[in-house]
Structure 1
Amino acid sequence: MKENSLISESIKTVVWSAIERFSVQVIQFVLTIILARLVAPSEYGLIAMLTIFIAVAQSFVDSGFSSALVQKKNRTETDFSTVFYFNIAISLISYIILYLSAPYIALYYREPLLELLCKWLGLSLIIQGFSVVQVAKLTISLDFKTQARASLTAVIISGLLGVYLAYSGYGVWALVAQSLLNNILNTSILCLLTKWIPKFIFSVSSLKSLFSFGSKLLLSGLLHTIYINLYSLVIGRKYSATDVGFFNQANLSARFPSVSLMAIISRAIYPIQCKIQDENELLLSSFKQYLRMSCYIIFPVMISMSVLAKPLILVILTDKWLPITDLFMFLCIGYMWIPLMVLNNQILHVKGRTDYFLKAEIIKKIVGLFILVVTMPFGLTVLCIGLLVYNFFDMIIIIYFSKKVINTGYFEQFKSIFSIFSLSIAMGVTIHLSLLLISNIYLQLFLGILIGLVFYLSFSYWFKIKEFNFLLLNFKKIIQ
């Protein structure tokens, strides 16, 4: 009964998390498509060149404290206020360092405009520093509805401004304005809706307690952030801004479905898993259910996108982005394994074993750096194949460490998702064969999606895949 109650609670939180993420991400995706049509790949490339520096600074702003607040059972107002003031201080320091580094960043890439772009984009660090605690409080209370209101309002208004500026010929500055306004609005609305005001309290002991958990997440997050953005850093130095734009667009587009869906699922179930962190059997059972459900949703999406890569790009992004087809195809296959990585990572957070998480990240990034060095001389396509290979190593390494705390290893996890994987592959083959009979790209895209959807759902019903029945049952409950 407790397990059923837990899953029921998960469904409710996932629904609101999905509404918030999907509404924001879908609108953001549509706006990105419009901007991609109005802004040149080289201008996208300029923003992508700065991504690693902004992302590293953002990692310091949070410092792992948001997850630490959620994970801690007996959190107090002192904890919240301490984290708030610490985050503000770190955000200011991070921006000053980024501001002073801007000329050297521009010199490294040999792009003078990057100095000014860096100084403006860096302001987002200070803005986001004011909302870290608000997001943590809403996550703890499973209040994704409030987050949805803030995110949706911010992305619509900022997106419309970005499109207007891009249409008016402002180029890369349209992207800068959109990003800054989005952060300003989101932070302002969160502060207004949460109605939380920090007390004039700063506790060193509270900071130390939270930092013992958060510091390992910070180091792990830094390693991951640096690695995933290292490609733009290397490509920007070795190739052109246009190449950076191509890679960045392919990478963002391929990551979008799996990362967004897992963000919905993981942040909804994380507070719930933290509540049962000491009930090992219940935690293990729920972990397996979440793993199968995540793979059931994400595997077919990513395989379909890989098979339909060319018509997707031509229809959505236009032929000026056609060179990213092969990059996109390989990256979709690599990112389809995100559910296993994310849920195994998260279980280490839930159990408080951020030391294992840090060790895993160090090993993974050493492997990833080796793959990057080996593939770098051979062009963008080989670099993306290298990323695909890295994702397999990522999955293997993190499962090794998660097995130490949840007692389910490679065989058990792969066995539990094998039927879903097989069904998804069969669906992909069916879509590919159907494309051979159609020449029109619009029909290829429409019929490819329709055939894949019908095939996947029909055979899910035929083979009695329990995730299909579970989703169907809960869908009926929601609409009634």
Structure 2
Amino acid sequence: MSESSLKEKTAKGLFWGGFSNGAQQLLNLAFGIVLGRLLDASDYGMVGMLTIFSAIASALQEGGFVSALTNRKEVCHKDYNAVFWFSMLCSIIIYILLFLAAPLIAGFYQTPELVPLSRFSFLGFVIASMSIAPRAYLFKNLKIKETTIISISSLGISGTVGILLAANGFAYWGMATQSITFVTVMTVLNFYFSRWKPKLEFDFRPIREMIGFSSKLIITNIFNIINNNLFSVLLGKFYSAREVGNFAQANKWNGMGHTLITGMINGIAQPVFTSVADDKARQLAIFRKLLRFTAFISFPAMLGLSLVSKELIVITVGAKWLPSAYILQLLCIWGAFIPIINLFSNLIISRGHSSVYMWNAICLSILQLTAVCAMYPYGLEWMLRIFVAINIGWLFVWFGFVRREINLRLYDMLKDLSPYLLLSAALVTGTHYATRPIENLYLGMIAKIILVAGLYAFILWRLQSVIFRESIEFLLKRKRA
């Protein structure tokens, strides 16, 4: 693929990825506001207690095959077909096991209501398993526009269902049904847009060829899930459903923020890196440009979200959720680095080193679990601080492996990241003190957003930032088109 063609595909992928994730987060915002006012923390806590089990089960049945298929040079129908039937078989087996384990899960949390709720909620990943093969086809072929339509449609329909059920008194059952509706609609649309259909053939030879690569991704994803849901498990075990709910509310807003950026990058990073895997110099140049773009977006967005956390929580879902505002402030600092760390891991995967990705995740999870358990007697605040510090520090571990692969220098990494990090941190800190006299929540939030966004854009324009200029030029080009 020529450089101009790859650049155009990358730019279009980022545009559609940004549009998709932006629209999804706006819908999430709207649905989250309504559900936050209809439900209370204990309802969120009920669903939050099951998140880790559903996520691990989903990782097991997905099997890392989306990435494995993307990394293959030549892919034919029998490869997708093998993944389809293998994923279906695994998901059915896992569901049966979790169905039988439901009383044990409820006993762990000492919440009997979790038995029927878990058995219903876990149906979601059985349905989702059917979409893995067509989703891999869309992802490998950079069908970002189609993926955008699928995501927005699924979210819109499922969100409407969740609100209707919550408004009619179904409480946490409404949230569980919302999740089932989401994966069902997404599965149907993945088949529709990919035009791919399975055949009644059971040839698992392609699975044996991919399992060495994909199995490491499975283990990695499980440890990532444990790491990301560590607090929900600990709080669910030692505290009430309300504390779990407050954390889940804060984590939801943090997730909406960094997912907007991560999703945009994920849509193109691995396919683009894989397409130039034979040219390290070109791959390094592309990686550094994506690194600057990610930092340009992530730092002001996530640190800005931390700045307005109190106003955002109270205005959108009400003062009853105020305890989650401080949790959100800390999580957003971690969230600012998630898209950057994700970019590093995509590079490692594109180089075929799923084992490096796996051991990184395992070591990080063990360190996190040890540190958080050690800090448990000192309260949630210190647990979160250590959690955030370790995750940010782990960026330098990722850097070590990327340096080995494409000769990325530490000086170059810091040069690409530090201007956007330092500028964002300075603007957020200055705005925090400048707006302290404003007592009205609405005026305070608006003033903070305008000051940070306006000054950030103005300073980058005056400094003639290349990333800023190219982003504006591309958006203007799309507008004219």
- TM-score range normalised by the length of the shorter chain: over 0.9
The residue number in structure 1 matching 2:79 is: 79
The residue number in structure 2 matching 1:446 is: 446
Q: Is the 8 A contact 2:18 2:260 kept in 1?
A: no
Q: Is the 8 A contact 2:85 2:202 kept in 1?
A: yes
1:197 and 2:197 equivalent? yes
1:186 and 2:186 equivalent? yes
CA-CA distance at 1:234 after TM superposition: 1.1
1:215 and 2:244 equivalent? no
1:323 and 2:323 equivalent? yes
Matched position secondary structure for 1:197: coil
The residue number in structure 2 matching 1:268 is: 268
1:158 and 2:158 equivalent? yes
Report the AA paired with residue 54 of structure 2: I
Superposition CA RMSD, Å: 1.5
CA-CA distance at 1:201 after TM superposition: 3.2
Report the AA paired with residue 190 of structure 2: L
- What aligned pairs does 1:135-146 form with structure 2 within 5 A after superposition? 135-146=135-146
Count of residue pairs the alignment pairs up: 480
- Greater mean alpha carbon deviation, residues 233-242 or residues 2-11: 2-11
Report the AA paired with residue 439 of structure 2: S
The residue number in structure 1 matching 2:360 is: 360
- What aligned pairs does 1:23-38 form with structure 2 within 5 A after superposition? 23-38=23-38
CA-CA distance at 1:332 after TM superposition: 0.7
- What aligned pairs does 1:372-451 form with structure 2 within 5 A after superposition? 372-451=372-451
Q: Is the 8 A contact 2:86 2:204 kept in 1?
A: no
CA-CA distance at 1:373 after TM superposition: 1.1
Report the AA paired with residue 412 of structure 1: D
1:13 and 2:21 equivalent? no
Report the AA paired with residue 251 of structure 1: N
Cα distance in 1 for partners of 2:115, 2:426 equals: 50
Matched position secondary structure for 2:267: helix
Cα distance in 2 for partners of 1:224, 1:410 equals: 25
CA-CA distance at 1:342 after TM superposition: 0.6
Cα distance in 2 for partners of 1:134, 1:458 equals: 43
CA-CA distance at 1:359 after TM superposition: 1.9
Cα distance in 1 for partners of 2:425, 2:183 equals: 40
- What aligned pairs does 1:326-345 form with structure 2 within 5 A after superposition? 326-345=326-345
User: In the TM superposition, what whole-angstrom CA distance separates every residue of 1:173-192 from its partner, at most 9, and x where no partner exists?
Assistant: 11011111111111112222
Q: Structure 2: 5+ residue runs without aligned partners?
A: none
Cα distance in 2 for partners of 1:359, 1:269 equals: 21
Residues 30 and 295 of structure 1: CA distance in aligned 2, closer, same or farther (over 3 Å)? same
CA-CA distance at 1:89 after TM superposition: 0.3
1:237 and 2:241 equivalent? no
The residue number in structure 2 matching 1:172 is: 172
CA-CA distance at 1:299 after TM superposition: 0.4
Cα distance in 2 for partners of 1:475, 1:148 equals: 18
Cα distance in 1 for partners of 2:336, 2:164 equals: 34
Cα distance in 2 for partners of 1:49, 1:409 equals: 42
Cα distance in 2 for partners of 1:102, 1:159 equals: 26
- Greater mean alpha carbon deviation, residues 84-93 or residues 156-165: 156-165
Q: TM-score scaled by structure 2?
A: 0.97
Q: Is the 8 A contact 1:357 1:401 kept in 2?
A: no
Q: In percent, how many aligned pairs have the same letter?
A: 28
Report the AA paired with residue 96 of structure 1: I
Cα distance in 1 for partners of 2:215, 2:338 equals: 24
Cα distance in 1 for partners of 2:347, 2:21 equals: 22
1:103 and 2:103 equivalent? yes
Report the AA paired with residue 372 of structure 2: L
Q: Is the 8 A contact 1:247 1:380 kept in 2?
A: no
CA-CA distance at 1:8 after TM superposition: 2.2
Q: Is the 8 A contact 1:261 1:298 kept in 2?
A: yes
Report the AA paired with residue 277 of structure 1: A
Cα distance in 1 for partners of 2:479, 2:5 equals: 20
User: In the TM superposition, what whole-angstrom CA distance separates every residue of 1:296-355 from its partner, at most 9, and x where no partner exists?
Assistant: 011001111112221121112210010112211111111111132111101111100111
The residue number in structure 1 matching 2:247 is: 247
- Greater mean alpha carbon deviation, residues 46-55 or residues 418-427: 418-427
The residue number in structure 2 matching 1:469 is: 469
Q: Is the 8 A contact 1:3 1:286 kept in 2?
A: no
Q: Is the 8 A contact 1:360 1:401 kept in 2?
A: no
The residue number in structure 2 matching 1:58 is: 58
The residue number in structure 1 matching 2:351 is: 351
Q: Is the 8 A contact 1:98 1:119 kept in 2?
A: yes
CA-CA distance at 1:409 after TM superposition: 4.2
CA-CA distance at 1:4 after TM superposition: 4.3
Cα distance in 1 for partners of 2:58, 2:29 equals: 22
Q: Is the 8 A contact 1:134 1:196 kept in 2?
A: yes
Residues 409 and 90 of structure 1: CA distance in aligned 2, closer, same or farther (over 3 Å)? farther
Matched position secondary structure for 1:469: helix
Q: TM-score scaled by structure 1?
A: 0.97
CA-CA distance at 1:2 after TM superposition: 4.5
CA-CA distance at 1:17 after TM superposition: 2.1
User: In the TM superposition, what whole-angstrom CA distance separates every residue of 1:17-41 from its partner, at most 9, and x where no partner exists?
Assistant: 2222222232123101210111010
The residue number in structure 2 matching 1:227 is: 227
- Greater mean alpha carbon deviation, residues 114-123 or residues 256-265: 256-265
Q: Is the 8 A contact 2:28 2:256 kept in 1?
A: no
Cα distance in 2 for partners of 1:369, 1:196 equals: 42
User: In the TM superposition, what whole-angstrom CA distance separates every residue of 1:443-470 from its partner, at most 9, and x where no partner exists?
Assistant: 0001110111110000011111111101
Report the AA paired with residue 180 of structure 2: L
CA-CA distance at 1:44 after TM superposition: 0.2
CA-CA distance at 1:287 after TM superposition: 0.2
Cα distance in 2 for partners of 1:345, 1:127 equals: 28
Report the AA paired with residue 474 of structure 2: N
Q: Structure 1: 5+ residue runs without aligned partners?
A: none
Cα distance in 2 for partners of 1:289, 1:113 equals: 50
- Greater mean alpha carbon deviation, residues 3-12 or residues 130-139: 3-12
CA-CA distance at 1:59 after TM superposition: 0.4
